[in-house]
Amino acid sequence: MISRERLTKTFCELVSIDSPSGEEEEVRLYIQNKLSGKGFEIYVDDYGNLIATSKKSSSNNIILSAHMDTVEPGRGIIPIVDKDTISSKNDTILGGDCKAGLTGILEALDSLHEQNHVFENLTLIFTREEEVALQGARHLDFSQILGKKAIIFDGEGPPSVITNSSPTYVSFDIEIIGRAAHAGVEPEKGLSAIKIASSVINKLPQGRLDEETTFNIGKIEGGSVRNAVPANIYLEGEFRTSSIETLNDLNHSLSNVIIETQNEFKEAEINLKSEILFEKYSLSNEDSSLKLVLKSIDNLGLKPTLKGSGGGTDGNIFIKHDIESVVIGMGVRGMHTINETVSIPDVVDCANLCQDIILKNT
Ligand SMILES: [Zn+2]
């Protein structure tokens, strides 16, 4: 039986372990400990991702997955349980993203193990650094993974909320090199990188551009002191879109803005670097992992909601490796904020869903 009490305890223990991206080792050991004695072969790949495979397995294994890292501010988290809701005591995130997902999976394993269930045809993947542009999944040792259908617990809201599409994500960096000079003595000898940056920023779009496209400059860094003409500026931006056409258009306009600004400020050096960090997908109704999840949602008496996401998840990477992946909610609200909360009944549903998936499909 899924135990609300045990599940709440597991969740509180998990969020009490600091695991900002890059520092997941302690959480990984906690999960390994939870898995021991349950009949899984444990494999930690070179990057530190944890892969657990049931002793009896085949290429038809079902994959359950969640990530082990959290965003900042995420150190020294103290969870507060108030009736059905868990929040963080201090000014930190709660870490429900993705520890509510980990909890749902681990509780289903605990519950089934208690009933002497023998796990078969099941693969568990726990990744590192999902929050750093899916670095863990990118470095995942796919040669060790059995199974072509994955359910990933990493969405907002209850487990009945299914993410059925995700955009392509492009990150870009702009480096602007002007010329330093004393601001009061000889400003005419300088070339302000800040002024050039403002010219670049003004020409670029910003915010939600259409239903399927967003554009943002999220970081600006540079200058040294108040009384010097600034010589260097770095900008970090991103855009996301589900349209190939818009993707090409935005890549074009970004390059054009750089060329145009370079022509305005001939003595400056402006460098642009951009990279596709993950690629879009959209699930069809024929997707077998989607069908499997819809069946279990129905078994639990829940009503499914399908919606697109502006974010990426490990699913974007798994799909590129020919693993049909569906991302579902794990009971979290306000992800990546200090107001993040977790609904205990939703995590209970998550665990029940996991249990149903395991019982009916493995
Ligand atoms: Zn997440």
Q: What is the CATH number of the domain that holds 264?
A: 3.30.70.360
pTM above 0.85, yes or no: yes
The pLDDT of residue 311 is 87
Q: Are 160 and 177 contained in the same domain?
A: no
Q: Are 49 and 97 contained in the same domain?
A: yes
The pLDDT of residue 127 is 98
Q: Are 201 and 326 contained in the same domain?
A: no
Domain final residue, candidates 231, 252, 278: 278
Catalytic annotation on 91?
no
Q: Are 200 and 268 contained in the same domain?
A: yes
Q: Are 155 and 298 contained in the same domain?
A: yes
Q: What is the CATH number of the domain that holds 156?
A: 3.40.630.10
**Residue in 63, 69, 94 with CA at minimum distance from that of residue 81:** 94
Residue tagged active-site, from 45, 69, 97, 356: 69
**Residue in 310, 334, 327, 315 with CA at minimum distance from that of residue 210:** 310
Domain final residue, candidates 278, 301, 320: 278
Residues contacting 147, CB < 8 A, separation 6+: 59, 60, 61, 62, 63, 121, 123, 323
Q: Are 172 and 274 contained in the same domain?
A: yes
Ligand 1 centroid–CA 98 distance in Å is 5
For 43, phi then psi, to 5°, come to -135, 125
Ligand 1 centroid–CA 341 distance in Å is 14
Q: Are 132 and 256 contained in the same domain?
A: no
The pLDDT of residue 126 is 98
Ligand 1 centroid–CA 331 distance in Å is 12
Grouped pLDDT means (10 residues each) for the chain, 362 residues = 98 98 98 98 98 97 98 98 98 98 98 97 98 95 97 97 95 98 97 98 97 96 98 98 96 98 98 95 92 96 94 94 96 97 98 97 92
Torsion of CA 321, 326, 329, 335, to 10 degrees: 30
Q: Are 162 and 302 contained in the same domain?
A: yes
CA distance 280 to 297: 25
CA distance 233 to 225: 13
Q: Are 149 and 237 contained in the same domain?
A: no
Catalytic annotation on 356?
no
- DSSP-derived secondary structure letter, 165: E
Q: Are 141 and 80 in contact (CB under 8 A)?
A: no
Q: Are 129 and 272 contained in the same domain?
A: no
Residue tagged active-site, from 45, 130, 154, 314: 130
Give the total number of structural domains in the chain: 2
Ligand 1 centroid–CA 27 distance in Å is 15
Q: Are 79 and 158 contained in the same domain?
A: yes
- Its domain, for residue 34, covers 4-166+280-361
Q: Are 161 and 285 contained in the same domain?
A: yes
Domain final residue, candidates 278, 302, 320: 278
The pLDDT of residue 109 is 98
The pLDDT of residue 310 is 87
Ligand 1 centroid–CA 286 distance in Å is 26
